[in-house]
Amino acid sequence: MSFAPTKSSWSWPDALDALTAAPDHHTLIMENERVRVIQTRILPGQVVPVHTHRWPAVAFIGNWSDFVRRDPDGTVTLDTRLGADYPTINAPFWQDPLTPHSVQNVGNTEFQAVQVELKENPGDSTQIR
């Protein structure tokens, strides 16, 4: 199991946080000192600007569409069209923190997901804020 990065281990600026760098695609649903809940929506053909997800999350896909994830240099790091299995809609899955990346919806439907980001590192009294 992966835990949240400490402040010293996360080297990307707050300006790349999903809510700041890609606000047209990420909406804050709820936040407190322990969790942050974000909804992601990407229409067909849209490209989400380079952004990060600092904390690990339990994620739920509400509506699937194929997508391509690229690193900041444009190199493809994931193309869901090449995978054999699609996730189950509304079934929880673990998502580790994501370093800078962009996402392009290459499918024909809107992609929708909700991420419940965990802002604490279990066993460490230092909270990430």
**Whole-number mean pLDDT of the chain?**
89
Q: Is residue 31 part of a domain?
A: yes
Question: What does the block give as tokens for 44?
Answer: 């067909």
38, with CB counted inside 10 A (0-12, 13-18, 19+), is: buried
pLDDT at 126: 45
Q: Is residue 25 part of a domain?
A: yes
Question: Cα(first)–Cα(last) distance of the chain, in Å?
Answer: 21
Q: Is residue 127 part of a domain?
A: no
pLDDT at 86: 78
pLDDT at 119: 94
Query: Distance of CA 73 to CAs 16, 94, 106, Å?
Result: 15, 26, 19
CATH number of the domain encompassing residue 53 = 2.60.120.10
Structural domain of residue 65, as residue ranges? 14-118
For the chain, how many structural domains are there in total?
A: 1
pLDDT at 4: 45
> How far is residue 116's CA from residue 96's CA, in Å, rounded to a whole number?
11
Q: Is residue 24 part of a domain?
A: yes
Q: Is residue 2 part of a domain?
A: no
The position carrying tokens 């024909």 is 108
Given a cut of 50, the residues of the chain with pLDDT beneath it are 1-7, 123-129
